[in-house]
Amino acid sequence: METRIDFTQPQGLPGERLRRRFGAPREIFAAHALNEVRAVLEAVEAAARAGQWCLGFVRYEAAAAFDPALPTHAADGPLAWFAAYDQALPWADGEDAAQEAPAHVVWRSSLTRDAFDQAMAQIHEAIASGAFYQVNYTAPLRGTLQGSPQALFDALLRAQPGGYAACMDTGEEQILSVSPELFFDWDGKHILARPMKGTAPRGATPEEDAALAQELRSAPKERAENVMIVDLLRNDLSRIAEPFSVKVPRLFHTQALPSVWQMTSDVQATTRPGTRLVDVFAALFPCGSITGAPKVAAMRMIQALEPSPRGVYCGAVGVVRPGADGGIQATFNVPIRTVALRGAQAVCGIGSGITSGALVESEWREWQHKSAFVERASQPFHLLETLALEDGAWRHLPEHLQRLQDAAAHFSTPWSSQVTQCLDALAAEHATGLWRVRLLLDARGRASAEAFACAPTALPVRLQLADQPLSDRWAHGEFVRYKTTRRAHYDAFAPTDPAFFDTLLFNEQGEITECTRGNIAALVDGRWITPPLACGLLPGVGRAIALREARVSEAVLRLADLPRVQAWAFVNSLRGWLAAELKLPAQS
């Protein structure tokens, strides 16, 4: 696996990135005991001052190397590991390291819901007793990799772009980090920390998305969680800062990530003359955003609740390189959103900060939102549009292309004129008749399309009601909001009885959402309504046309409302508006 970094330049121009790849290392620095960690960091700083680039990590379990009072489990690998390189090679945008088959991982949580609830109860009890006021509680996802580590890193980078990404190989372990969180950026004089605390899901519409961001910025619980860690970082930085130089120039900044909104704040300082890299780590490590506050008490709770070492997750991953005037430039992330591989065995930690105001159900949902990045990257998929081609003319083509382009932007998929060229070629080959066209766009932006003869649909179509809700993990996730070939959550509800055309779905709140292959409309009290996107459904093109033409309006429809429905319609762009009948379960 090729070693690479793709780091935001936090103190550079907007959008400026440090993208480099590396060949064979000149030297390896590794610490396997606590008393070796400081020496490794000193060697890394010396190598960078001599002109080398050093890329590596410090494991969470190295904490006691800087403060013996910080408790952790025993490490399961080197406490610190860095590779030194004579040069950093350019890595251009779009230049992929691997052309292998996509990677595939099926993840399973090591934590049951019951165990999560019990841990939350213990945390709330400890907070109430005054042991600490925030703790960061985590648990690993585990899986087995099919494919190459490089292919998985490429997919992770597409799933979580724009942060502080690095991949490296120690020989026994591969670290694939796509963390959005900056630990610190230090040029030998000025230091910036950017702790990330506060999370909200992304919205189903631009309006809902903006409202969720505003709610995150103003929520007392989220702001309190952020301020607690800002205060901790201010205190940590003061240990190496010149007097009165610690500042907080930006507080409660919301950052849009693909699956969540995150809140960050900036803490800056001027370091004292003679400060070394090891001094920075001694003051800051581990980052307070992944421990809690006070740090020692929070880490005691972490050790008690979490049965295994965190590893590189929640430690630090970064690069130390030559700086100005013989100095150094050190940039480290907090390795959340990070996968560690040993052979085919993959581990990825997920967690959140717990305060007195944390609600169990909300925190559990936050974990699901945070794990979406690795779910996205771990199973290959294509973006999908299903279009009607009738006598050589496309039905609602602009709307389909806009929806596909929106999905491409969301999933960081390249977009080009190849999409329309592909459709033009297919239309020329099918000048007569009605065709169902399946348009696909892969992760590299390559388009393909197939046409299938489309037979008339017998009316009315018969629908069955799902026997259980579509879980919130899917209903409010990106694989419902955007149309892709990742459809297992829909396929599980597909009718097995050929008498039924499709299945009507509902969410965990008992709200009707959609069918597995189209949207739904219901006539209630003489008015046609369709569920709003916030209930968790695909924004279908046929649905959008019906709304635009005022044939329907949005309104929540609950299971309890079903007896009031006077008529049903199945709606999509391919079939149009189809009269439907819903078979309700027999009353017991």
Annotated catalytic residues are 181, 197
Cβ pair 309, 281 in contact under 8 A: no
- Residue 187 in tokens: 């040029």
CA distance 21 to 4: 4
DSSP string, 362-403: HHHHHHHHHTHHHHHHHS---EEEEEEEETTEESSHHHHHHH
CA distance 232 to 301: 17
**Exposed, middle or buried by CB within 10 Å (0-12, 13-18, 19+), for 59?**
buried
Q: Which residues contact 372 (CB under 8 A, 6 or more apart)?
A: 258, 259, 260, 477, 478
**Which of 393, 381, 342 shows the shortest CA–CA distance to 144?**
342
**Exposed, middle or buried by CB within 10 Å (0-12, 13-18, 19+), for 90?**
exposed
CA distance 477 to 489: 11
CA distances from 55 to 83, 162, 218, 428, 460 (A): 5, 19, 38, 53, 64
SS (H, E, C) 33-64: CHHHHHHHHHHHHHHHHCCCEEEEEECHHHHH
CA distance 289 to 310: 15
136 DSSP β-pair partners: 353
CA distance 150 to 157: 11
CA distance 361 to 352: 13
Cis bond upstream, residue 286 (ω within 30):
yes
503 DSSP β-pair partners: 464
CA distance 530 to 552: 6
Question: What type of residue sits at position 579?
Answer: A
- Residue 329 in tokens: 């430039």
What is residue 290's DSSP assignment? G
DSSP string, 501-538: SEEEEEBTTSBEEEESSSEEEEEETTEEEE--GGGT--
